[in-house]
């Protein structure tokens, strides 16, 4: 039994060291070292670690030396700073600043791109002021491009008169920079709270991209007070990123997991769920927890609130928000405050 326990302990320790070594190798590969040095340095670390454990006779000392090197590498990696000063893609070139004074919120640099195709567009930003007393509700937006387990989620805040402000939590990529899941775990992309209009952020997905994405716009059950607290928290965090940039993380702070602390700050405490990561199922989670209407079957909600069916023909950008909500006039009010 003692031998079995000792063997299991060494097996577990070996697995931990293997995972630590793999993380360190990838961290070096995607670090802020000069580009020409990243792959050689990562390969050198991996080979040196392997050779040390295979050929050095005193495994205890080897393990201690590895832990010292790994800890030093971790400390260095943690100090790699995010930045707002890079050659950004045109549609991500600006961040929105927010001023909140009493019931008045002024957004400086609200994104309002005019899209002809995904590569042909006018990148533009506008300044707008909003009266929080006119904030009517918030919609939960789910956009899917054909991958069953992965979607993009957004929040859309509606004001009296039909205006909407959309939050889209995204990677802030540089000009010509591709997006990858592994890179998104290793400080390759800054985090950006894109605040924009629906004729920009939603119309891009339903009308412009090829192939077009399916976009569902689900009314939430937030009452006005919680909606107000949520909106103020959103614009406050967006403004904070303009001063103190942070890294995007594929797991810890993505388009969906990043919404959770915003909801918590608005007084909607919710525990973690696996569907926050495999967010192609997040509308099911929202339905189960009453964030969207739970008195109607989910399949019916999906059918009614699929925005694409209402803009199958070209729609004028200024009429877009009204066009994707023909159900709004007929649908009874959702139960509030759940």
Q: What does the DSSP assignment read for 64-121?
A: HHHHHHHHHHHHHHHTPPP-S-S-B-GGGS---EEEEETTEEEEEEEE--EESSSSSE
In whole angstroms, what is the distance from residue 191 CA to residue 253 CA?
8
> Per residue in 37-69, pLDDT tens?
999 999 999 999 999 998 988 888 999 999 999
Q: List pLDDT tens digits, range 242-291.
A: 999 999 999 889 999 999 999 888 876 667 888 988 999 999 999 999 99
Helix (H) or strand (E) holding 155, with range, is strand 152-159
Mean pLDDT per 10-residue section of the chain, whose length is 338 residues: 80 91 96 94 96 88 94 96 96 97 97 95 97 97 94 97 96 94 93 97 94 95 94 97 95 92 81 88 94 92 95 82 84 45
Phi, psi of 9 (to 5 degrees): -65, -45
Q: What is the pTM of this model?
A: 0.91
């Amino acid at each position: 039994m003692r031998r079995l326990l000792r063997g299991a302990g060494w097996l577990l320790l070996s697995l931990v060291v293997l995972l630590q070594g793999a993380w360190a190798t990838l961290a070096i590969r995607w670090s802020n070292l000069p580009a020409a040095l990243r792959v050689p340095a990562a390969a050198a670390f991996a080979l040196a670690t392997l050779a040390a454990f295979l050929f050095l006779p005193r495994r205890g000392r080897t393990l201690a030396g590895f832990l010292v090197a790994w800890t030093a590498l971790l400390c260095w990696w943690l100090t790699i700073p995010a930045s707002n000063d890079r050659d950004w893609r045109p549609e991500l070139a600006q961040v929105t600043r927010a001023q909140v004074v009493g019931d008045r919120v002024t957004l400086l640099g609200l994104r309002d791109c005019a899209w002809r195709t995904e590569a042909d567009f006018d990148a533009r930003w506008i300044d707008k002021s909003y009266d929080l007393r006119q904030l009517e509700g918030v919609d939960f937006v789910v956009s899917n491009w054909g991958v069953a387990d992965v979607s993009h989620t957004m929040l859309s805040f509606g004001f009296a008169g039909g205006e909407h402000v959309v939050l889209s939590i995204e990677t802030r990529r540089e000009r010509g920079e591709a997006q990858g899941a592994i890179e998104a775990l290793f400080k390759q992309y800054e985090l950006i709270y894109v605040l924009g209009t629906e004729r920009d952020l939603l119309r891009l997905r339903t009308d412009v991209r090829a192939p077009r994405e399916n976009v569902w716009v689900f009314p939430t059950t937030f009452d006005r007070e919680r909606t107000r607290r949520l909106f103020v928290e959103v614009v406050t965090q967006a403004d904070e990123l303009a001063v103190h940039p942070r890294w995007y993380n594929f797991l810890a702070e993505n388009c969906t997991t990043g919404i959770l602390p915003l909801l918590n700050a608005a007084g909607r405490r919710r525990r973690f769920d696996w569907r926050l990561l495999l967010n192609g199922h997040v509308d099911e989670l929202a339905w189960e927890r009453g964030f969207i209407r739970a008195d109607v079957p989910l399949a019916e909600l999906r059918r009614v609130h699929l925005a694409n069916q209402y803009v199958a023909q070209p729609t004028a950008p200024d009429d877009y928000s009204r066009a994707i909500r023909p159900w709004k006039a007929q649908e009874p009010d959702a139960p509030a405050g759940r």
